[in-house]
Amino acid sequence: YRVVGGIFDFFVFAGDTPMSVVQQYTGLVGRSFLPPYWSLGYHLCRWGYWTVAKTKEVVEKLREAGIPHDAQWNDIGMGAICDV
């Protein structure tokens, strides 16, 4: 490596198993958080649902078809033109 200046730290993680190496690494850099349960589900987002009624219609059709649907997002700009 070529370093212009400053301190360059190297870390070596040795372990008998990959799990022990990962535990050492995450002990140093921190462990990730578990996201909210609902955020792991199926989300639908689309531009072009011009009314709230259309959005509700799409959600009902998904339910009728038995398609898992945890969150509905309407793309940017929808709020400016929809009939609330």
Q: Is the pLDDT of residue 40 over 60?
A: yes
DSSP, collapsed to helix, strand or coil, labels residue 73 as strand
Q: How confident is the model at residue 45 (pLDDT cuts 50, 70, 90)?
A: confident
Task: Please check the confidence at residue 80 and state whether its pLDDT lies above 70.
Answer: no
Strand partners of residue 45: 73
Rounded to two decimals, the pTM is: 0.48
Q: What is the mean pLDDT of the chain?
A: 83
For range 44-69, the mean pLDDT: 87
Q: Which pLDDT value is given to residue 76?
A: 67
